[in-house]
Amino acid sequence: MLKRAMTFADAALAAPTPEAASEGFFSSLADLGASYLQTRIYRRPIVTLTSAAHFAAGGIVSRIAPETWRAGSPAFDYVCFENNPLLEAIRGGLTRYRFTDFAPRAQRRYGTYWEAMSEAGIADAVCATSYGRHRTITSLHLGFHEPDLSPDDALAIQLAGLMLTERLMTFAAPPTAEEEVRLTDRERDALAWVAEGKSDWEISMILGLSETTVRFHVDNGRKKLGAVNRAQAVARLAAARML
C-alpha cells in the first residue's frame, strides 16, 4: 500500500513549486479516472466556521476543473455555500475522508448535491488535509468520474494525498502581523483554565494572581480573538488549535 502511495506521490514530492506539485499529483492519478483537483494553502480564520468563511480564507493553489466550475455558477455556489456537508470534516480536524463519507449518494437529500457535483465531473472525491503552525492548513480535493473507487485505491490515494499536503506545507508563508493572533502566555493560560470551567477565583489561586488580574488577562485575550464573550473566545482558541 505504501509503495503504491509513493508511486502516486513521487512527482509531487520532487516538484519545485506548489502548482507543479499539484499538477504532477493529478497526472499520476489520470489512469484511475481523476477528473478534478483543488489544492489550497490557507490559514483557518478565527471566526465561526461557515461555508462563506471557509471560502473567504482563499489560498487556492491549483484548480483543475471545467471552465464553468467557478464562484457565481449555480452548481458551484450550491455545493460551496448552500449545502456544504464537508464543514463537519473540517470542524473535526480530519486528515482524510471521501465526499461520500459526509454526503452519501444513497440518501435522497443529497440528490441535488451530487447533481451539482456532476457539472465538475465529480462522482466522488478523495480528500487529504494537513494542519500546521499558525493555523496553516493545506488541503487536497481529488475528484473522480466514477463513484466506485475501491477502498484500497482510496486509501493509497489518501496516503499519497497526505504526502502532497505535507509537501504543500513547506511552501506556506509565515503569518503576517495581521494574520497572527498574539496572545501572551498569561492570556493563553487564563483562557485555558476558563476552558476547564474554572472560576476567576480558582484561576487566581492556580496562577498566583489576583482575581482582577485574571479578569484583565481573560478580557484582553477575548478582545484579541474578536470574541463577544468568554465562551466564544474558548471556542475560537479550540478551533484554531491554540489550547
Q: Which residues contact 78 (CB under 8 A, 6 or more apart)?
A: 112, 113, 116
| pLDDT over 80 (residue 239) | no
Distance CA 154, CA 2 (A): 12
Contacts by 73-80, CB closer than 8 A, 24 or more apart: 73/119, 74/116, 75/115, 75/116, 75/117, 75/119, 75/120, 76/116, 76/119, 76/120, 78/112, 78/113, 78/116, 79/113, 79/116, 79/117, 80/51, 80/55
**Same-domain pairing of 94 and 26:** yes
Instruction: Give me the domain span that covers residue 106.
Output: 2-169
The pLDDT tens digits of the residues spanning 173-224 come to 988 766 677 899 999 999 999 988 999 999 999 999 999 999 999 999 988 8
The C-alpha cell 473567504 sits at 56
Q: Is the dihedral of CA 190, 188, 91, 68 positive or negative?
A: positive
206: in domain: yes
The pLDDT tens digits of the residues spanning 19-52 come to 999 999 999 999 999 999 999 999 988 777 899 9
Q: How far from the centroid of its chain's Cα atoms is residue 189's Cα?
A: 26
- Specify the CATH number for the domain of residue 192: 1.10.10.10
Cell readout for 69 is 466550475
**Same-domain pairing of 144 and 200:** no
**Same-domain pairing of 93 and 191:** no
User: What is the total count of domains within the chain?
Assistant: 2
Task: State what percent of residues in the chain have pLDDT above 90.
Answer: 77
**Same-domain pairing of 145 and 235:** no
**Same-domain pairing of 147 and 100:** yes
The pLDDT tens digits of the residues spanning 135-159 come to 899 999 999 999 999 999 999 999 9
Q: What's the pTM value of the predicted model, to 2 decimals?
A: 0.80
